[in-house]
Amino acid sequence: MVHRTLKDWTQIMPFPEATDLQHRIASSLAMMTAWNAALSGQFMLSEVISVLARQAGAANIAVYRADARKAWPIASAVSPHATRTPETSSGFLFQFIKETRPDDIFPGAIFRLSELRDDPAFQSSPAHQEWSQRNSVYEVSMIILEATDNKTDVIEVLFEGEYIGHPDLPSQIVTQALANAWELRSPGLMTSLIQNYGRGRAADISSDDEAILGANNPCGLSRAEQRVCTLLFDGMKARDIADALGLSVPTVRSHLRNIYGKTETSGQVELIAVINARSKETT
């Protein structure tokens, strides 16, 4: 996948007499252009969210996938002029949202730490223990990019000072556009980023465990799906897999659809290519 050099168009004045609102609109459109390009593999996602951090005045932005077990880092960045190291997320804040506001989780939704703190249940949560110790944090905004039964993709934006927006350009307009573009991302891109994240940084788990078929199961495959995926990787067709596992062909095909969805691959060819690529990286 070819990566182009990112140009920060968001700082360009659209025309000399542009008002603050017009400049903000132009910057948002430029950001969405870069965001869409990153989701098609043209730009590095970490570079794009670094520009987003500067545009929003954020200290840190982390993009991650939350499932039933943990938060899997996709990308993280700070403002281009910051000296701090980009942070990943523990996922505790999202877990609290999932437990207390499941019906409010949908693409484009925004949750704010300051509002969650007003919930009495927050005081006994791991999220409270984490964020009450960070005195430098003024606000945290959670943006939902995608939500399914198995996983949720999230942007966590950390502010060390007050965010000053514009009343005529609500944040929800931008977050909904980010979520809409996320839905149209290139197949397999997020799985690849999750697997490759942490290269050059200290990893929390071994490389072998990050593989699609590794012990850590980063894509959240069920045991049946893992068995089907293994046999598919070994070159077996759907009917052969059905015979080997004592399943019907429609059941195997249902497992395959789930596998392709969870690994964000378009089919057998791309799935095998992603598994092979990761295997070469860990040998």
Three-state DSSP class for 28? helix
Q: How much is the pLDDT for 69?
A: 72
Three-state DSSP class for 33? helix
For residues 138 and 130, the answer to whether their CB atoms sit within 8 Å is no
Q: Model's pTM, two decimal places?
A: 0.72
Work out the burial of residue 99: count CB atoms within 10 Å of its CB; fewer than 13 is exposed, 13-18 middle, 19 or more buried.
Answer: exposed
Q: What is the pLDDT of residues 182-207, one digit of tens each?
A: 999 988 788 778 766 644 333 333 34
Kindly give the interhelix angle for 20-39 and 171-183, rounded to the nearest 10 degrees: 20
Q: Which helix (H) or strand (E) holds 144?
A: strand 139-147
Question: Domains in the chain and their CATH numbers?
Answer: 57-186 (3.30.450.40), 207-281 (1.10.10.10)
Q: How confident is the model at residue 45 (pLDDT cuts 50, 70, 90)?
A: very high
Q: What is the pLDDT of residues 234-282, one digit of tens each?
A: 888 899 899 888 899 999 999 998 888 888 777 787 788 777 765 555 5
Residue 268's alpha-carbon distances to 55, 208, 213, 245, 256, in angstroms, are 40, 21, 15, 18, 9
Q: How much is the pLDDT for 19?
A: 94
Instruction: Find the mean pLDDT for residues 92-118.
Output: 96
Residue 135's alpha-carbon distances to 36, 132, 138, 139, 160, in angstroms, are 35, 7, 8, 10, 9
Three-state DSSP class for 76? strand
Length of the chain: 283
Q: How much is the pLDDT for 203?
A: 35
